[in-house]
């Protein structure tokens, strides 16, 4: 393998024209409301208003008006950051699950009250207008929503962080339920236009694909590599503003759209195949057409690798352009001035891509380029599930990205020398740790590439990081213990408390002032109010009002009536076996059976809500949705049952749905098999809004229990160690034999009670529960789950105690603000001084 040794750039690097903006001292309007009002009026006057859609026209006008408000501050933020006074961070993520932007922008810019006043002129309330905004659903679930919460916290903490992502034309599919089954509909979120985005044609870059590599000796005798005859795809940036909480900073989420290069297929033009050549442009534009809808499992499709490289290359080129505009070709400050956070392995091809750009475009030698790359990159791992670990066939990589494959081989060769030095003569270690997995088909292990190329590797909750170090990445931990660190996830309190639960926010602020919005640890002061009867009563009234809102929403979306005097027991998240929605339904069936048997003693009346999307190719998850719907049908149509129990499946769970769900929830279900959920963030949103949690010792539940105390949490189930120990000898039948409740549930399922006219459709599910290879261990945890649920019922029967526990949960949720999480990233990763 030859390597680039040249240390000099062939061409002097000049600042690009877009860098030559100067700071103007634009006066910020002192009466934002007047400006906004005039802006909105202007938008409406100039033709946006169609009568039949008056509300969405007002939404558009308002959004454009709010964006206009941000332009000066946005520009000032950019110009300031282009000076590189503080270290710049690029957060690379294939997913940003942003949801709606209007409410959040108004809150952060302190325009909510003014807007409400303004809208009285149009005789419409703000909530109605907010409902007109389509969710930006550019993500699957937790990982994508984390990226969105991080952007809000980074801007609010005045950090120079840019989000880099893909502007998918179709985001996360819309879920419909037809005859109890999930049906996917394309999410055409851009059809009505996106008022927040700004196309930035002067920052277009070009991304190479295919072609082949050659090398030559330059005049100084160094080997230079050329990647030639490639197809170039244009990456066009669309910027979205990310306003900080009332601090004047407007950060940027830069989303790349793929467009065909004009000379994409000039040869065909010359052959007279004009129409063919133009049609070929679609191939380029396909790259950013659709978000892959897999959560916690890899996909392996060629187009997905194209998306990953497209995002990584475009973003790094953008970063380098900005740097070079200030420092020219002096790269000695690059790693001091830039950090690149990789959100899972999805953008980990950025490691060899940064090497390529530094060597082939900017002329650095290998050692220098590697020093820079490995001091900039930081990798966040999000899962231990083996099916989620990305591996790309070497043959595919070779074909699509030949120069990148060359660089990966060289990274690996040099890395394996280090392994051999640490463990002399241990060929097993070499095979186990190699970035290239050998076998019939060689594959690139993207997680190993990310670890080798990064100075920081972090898990997303204490337990998760511990398991990474002890298991999946143990060899790497032994080699580089200093790289590993934990950064427990968090959620932004602006969206997930202040904006979504205004009643609770008002109550808290009336008693604590408003400092807690900046520093959520102040919420601990709420504990004192558990002794204040009037406060506890108010707390209960807020929950009751929020439950009514949720009940209306559930009815509108599913047709099931929820009764706000009953307990609202909620599990919303992606449908996955490890999250165990099935365990939840089994408990519902158990309660249903008890009710039919007249055994309603000590049973608190409940409304159970389950929602979430299944990956379209995940058959078992889809069957579980069908089961939930069939059980719901039986439960909800029996008037003897509905006073005690109701069940609804909420279609199309997304961010804006969660904003209505978490404020109205009494009981949050966080019941994954121990050791499988990396962190969870839904658990934190519920806790902040005063829900009590029933859950396993998994993910961030562990830390929630540390904060609130185990007496205020309904803990059940096997521990991670017990799950691991039991695996070899697991036999569900022993649990079934011991449990009349579980026998009852299985008998009812086997008897076809929920599928009388659809014989056999749940056989797979029954078999899975009884399978000794059931790695989710449903049967093992069932009885203890029912025991904990009985404790839930008992506490719900004591409303005052329940409300006090609710207050304690909110009071203890401060640790789960993503502001805290981001302070940790900033202090321990992005600003880390020395790299051992």
Cβ contact 570:667 at 8 Å:
yes
User: Is 145 one of the binding residues for ligand PLP (CB under 6 A)?
Assistant: yes
Q: Do 577 and 736 touch, CB atoms closer than 8 A?
A: no
Report in angstroms the alpha-carbon separations of 52 from 55, 58, 611: 8, 12, 32
**Of 727-766, which residues contact ligand PLP (CB under 6 A)?**
none
- Residue 185 annotated to the active site: no
User: If you compute the radius of gyration of the chain from its CA atoms, what whole number of angstroms results?
Assistant: 28
Give the span between the Cα atoms of 364 and 758, in whole angstroms. Answer: 66
Taking the complex as a whole, the smallest distance from the CB of residue 572 to ligand PLP amounts, in Å, to: 7
Q: For residue 170, what are the CA distances in angstroms to 96, 196, 259, 573?
A: 13, 17, 16, 21
Nearer to ligand PLP, 453 or 680 (CB): 680
Which residue out of 524, 681, 696, 720 is catalytically annotated? Answer: 681
Cβ distance to ligand PLP smaller for residue 172 or 255: 172
Is 293 near ligand PLP (CB under 6 A)? Answer: no
Distance, in Å, from the CA atom of 625 to the CA atom of 621, rounded to the nearest integer, reads 7
50 as an active site residue: the answer is: no
Q: In this chain, which stretch among 14-22, 121-129, 139-147, 805-813 interacts with ligand PLP, using CB under 6 A?
A: 139-147
360/707 with CB nearer ligand PLP: 707
Q: Which is nearer to ligand PLP, 211 or 612 (CB)?
A: 612
Numbers of helices and strands, H then E, in the chain = 33, 25
Which residue in 141, 195, 402, 663 binds ligand PLP (CB under 6 A)? 141
Q: Note whether 142 binds ligand PLP by CB under 6 A.
A: yes
3-class SS of residue 213: strand
Smaller CB separation from ligand PLP, 257 or 495? 495
Q: Is 538 a catalytic residue?
A: no
Whether 203 is catalytic: no
* Residue of 685, 804, 808, 815 with catalytic role: 685
Beta strands in 561-655 (DSSP E): 567-572, 606-611, 645-650
> Closest distance between ligand PLP and the C-beta of residue 661, in Å?
9
For residue 244, which of 369, 105, 398 has the smallest C-alpha distance?
A: 105
Looking at residues 546 to 565 of the shown chain, list those that interact with ligand PLP (rule: CB under 6 A): none
Confirm if 671 and 714 have CB atoms less than 8 A apart. Answer: no
In whole angstroms, the minimum distance from the beta carbon of 100 to ligand PLP comes to 12
3-class secondary structure for 303-366? HHHHHHHHHHHHHHHHHHHHHHHHHCCCHHHHHHHEEEEEECCCCCCHHHHHHHHHHHHCCCCH
Active-site residue, selected from the candidate residues 67, 403, 573, 676: 573
- Interaction mask 441-470, ligand PLP, x per CB under 6 A: ------------------------------
Q: How far is the CB of 669 from ligand PLP (least distance, A)?
A: 9
Candidates 490, 338, 149, 227; CA nearest to 831 is: 338
Q: For residues 649-708, which are near ligand PLP according to CB under 6 A?
A: 654-655, 658, 680-682, 685
Residue 394 or 625: the one with the smaller Cβ distance to ligand PLP is: 625
Between 403 and 685, CB nearer to ligand PLP: 685
Given the residues 382, 445, 469, 494, select the one marked as catalytic.
Answer: 382
272, two tokens: 């007279």
Contact segment (CB under 6 A) with ligand PLP among 77-85, 140-148, 515-523, 524-532 equals 140-148
> How many angstroms separate the CA atoms of 335 and 356, rounded?
16
Q: How far is the CB of 823 from ligand PLP (least distance, A)?
A: 21
Q: How far is the CB of 163 from ligand PLP (least distance, A)?
A: 17
Contact 498, 517 (CB under 8 A): yes
- Max CA separation in the chain (angstroms): 91
CB of 655 to ligand PLP, least distance (A): 5
Residue 382 appears among annotated catalytic residues: yes
Positions 492 through 521 that interact with ligand PLP (CB under 6 A): none
Please give the span between the terminal C-alpha atoms of the chain, in angstroms, as a whole number. Answer: 28
738 counts as catalytic: no
CB of 446 to ligand PLP, least distance (A): 22
Q: Give the Cα separation of 507 and 499 in Å (integer).
A: 13
**Which residue is catalytic, options 337, 464, 574, 646?**
574
Report the alpha-carbon distance of residue 647 to residue 637 in Å, rounded: 10
* Total site size for ligand PLP, rule CB under 6 A: 12
Comparing CB distances to ligand PLP, the nearer of 505 and 670 is 670
CA distance readout (Å), 812 to 507, 517, 523: 17, 14, 7
- The DSSP secondary-structure symbol of 651 reads S
Q: What are the residues binding ligand PLP (CB under 6 A)? A: 141-142, 145, 573-574, 654-655, 658, 680-682, 685
Catalytic residues: 382, 573-574, 579, 681, 685
């Amino acid at each position: 393998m030859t390597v680039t040794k040249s240390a000099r750039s062939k061409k002097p690097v000049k600042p690009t024209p877009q860098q030559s903006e100067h700071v103007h001292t634009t006066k910020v309007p002192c009466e934002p409301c007047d400006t906004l009002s005039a802006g909105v009026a202007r938008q409406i006057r100039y033709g946006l208003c169609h009568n039949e859609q008056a509300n969405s026209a007002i939404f558009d006008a308002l959004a454009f008006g709010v964006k206009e408000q941000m332009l000066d501050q946005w520009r000032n933020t950019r110009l300031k950051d282009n000076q590189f006074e503080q270290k710049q961070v690029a957060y690379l993520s294939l997913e940003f699950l942003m949801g709606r932007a209007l409410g959040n922008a108004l809150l952060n810019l302190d325009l909510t009250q003014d807007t409400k006043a303004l809208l009285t002129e149009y005789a419409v309330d703000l909530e109605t207008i907010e409902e007109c905004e389509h969710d930006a659903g550019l993500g699957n679930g937790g990982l994508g929503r984390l990226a969105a919460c991080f952007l809000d916290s980074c801007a609010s903490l005045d950090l120079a962080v840019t989000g880099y992502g893909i502007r998918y034309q179709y985001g996360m599919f819309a879920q419909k339920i037809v005859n109890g089954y999930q049906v996917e509909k394309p999410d055409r979120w851009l059809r009505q236009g996106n008022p927040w985005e700004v196309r930035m044609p002067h920052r277009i870059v070009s991304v190479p694909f295919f072609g082949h590599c050659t090398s030559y000796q330059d005049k100084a005798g160094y080997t230079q590599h050329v990647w030639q005859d490639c197809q170039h795809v244009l990456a066009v940036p669309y910027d979205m503003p990310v306003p900080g909480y009332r601090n004047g900073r407007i950060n940027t989420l830069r989303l790349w759209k793929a467009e065909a290069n004009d000379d994409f297929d000039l040869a065909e033009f010359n052959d007279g195949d004009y129409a063919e050549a133009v049609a070929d442009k679609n191939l380029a534009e396909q790259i950013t057409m659709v978000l892959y809808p897999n959560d916690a499992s890899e996909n392996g499709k060629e187009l997905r690798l194209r998306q990953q490289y497209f995002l990584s290359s475009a973003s790094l080129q953008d970063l380098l352009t900005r740097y070079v505009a200030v420092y020219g070709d002096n790269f000695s400050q690059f790693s001091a001035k830039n950090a690149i956070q990789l959100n899972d392995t999805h953008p980990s091809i950025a490691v060899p891509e940064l090497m390529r750009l530094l060597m082939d475009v900017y002329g650095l030698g290998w050692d220098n380029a590697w020093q820079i790359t490995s001091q900039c990159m930081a990798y966040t791992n999000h899962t231990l599930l083996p099916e989620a670990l990305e591996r790309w066939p070497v043959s595919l990589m070779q074909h699509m990205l030949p120069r990148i494959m060359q660089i990966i081989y060289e990274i690996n060769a040099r890395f394996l020398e280090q392994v051999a030095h640490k463990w002399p003569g241990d060929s097993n270690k070499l095979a186990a740790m190699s970035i290239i997995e050998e076998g019939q088909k060689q594959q690139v292990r993207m997680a190993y590439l990310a670890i080798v190329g990064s100075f920081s590797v972090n898990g997303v909750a204490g337990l998760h990081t511990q398991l990474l170090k002890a298991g999946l990445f143990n060899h790497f931990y032994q080699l580089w213990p200093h790289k590993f660190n934990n950064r427990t996830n968090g959620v932004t309190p602006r969206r997930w408390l202040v904006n979504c639960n205004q009643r609770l926010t008002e109550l808290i602020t009336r008693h604590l002032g408003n400092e807690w919005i900046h520093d959520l640890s102040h919420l601990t002061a709420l504990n004192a109010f558990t002794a204040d009867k009037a406060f506890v009563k108010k707390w209960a009234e807020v929950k009751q009002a929020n439950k009514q809102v949720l009940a209306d929403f559930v009815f509108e979306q599913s047709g099931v009536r929820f009764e706000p005097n009953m307990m609202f027991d909620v599990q919303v998240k992606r449908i996955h076996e490890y999250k165990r929605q099935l365990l939840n339904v089994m408990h519902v069936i158990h309660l249903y059976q008890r009710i039919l048997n007249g055994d309603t003693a000590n049973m608190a009346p409940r409304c159970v809500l389950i929602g979430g999307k299944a990956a379209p190719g995940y058959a078992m998850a889809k069957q579980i949705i069908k089961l939930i719907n069939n059980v719901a049908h039986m439960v909800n149509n029996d008037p003897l049952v509905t006073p005690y129990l109701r069940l609804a499946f909420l279609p199309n769970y997304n961010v804006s749905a969660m904003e209505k769900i978490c404020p109205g929830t009494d009981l949050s279900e966080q019941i994954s098999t121990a050791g499988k959920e990396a962190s969870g963030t839904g658990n934190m949103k519920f806790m902040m809004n005063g829900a009590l949690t029933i859950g396993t010792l998994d993910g961030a539940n562990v830390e929630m229990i540390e904060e609130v105390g185990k007496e205020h949490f309904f803990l059940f189930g096997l521990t991670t160690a017990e799950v691991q120990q039991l695996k070899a000898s697991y036999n569900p039948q022993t649990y079934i034999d011991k449990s009349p409740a579980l026998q009852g549930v299985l008998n009812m399922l086997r008897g076809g009670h929920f599928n009388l006219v659809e014989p056999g459709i749940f056989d797979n599910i029954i078999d899975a529960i009884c399978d000794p290879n059931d790695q989710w261990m449903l049967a093992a945890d069932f009885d203890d789950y029912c025991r904990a649920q009985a404790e839930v019922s008992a506490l719900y029967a004591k409303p005052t105690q329940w409300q006090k526990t609710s207050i304690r949960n909110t009071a203890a949720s401060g640790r789960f603000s993503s502001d805290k999480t981001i302070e940790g990233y900033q202090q321990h990763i992005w600003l880390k001084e020395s790299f051992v």
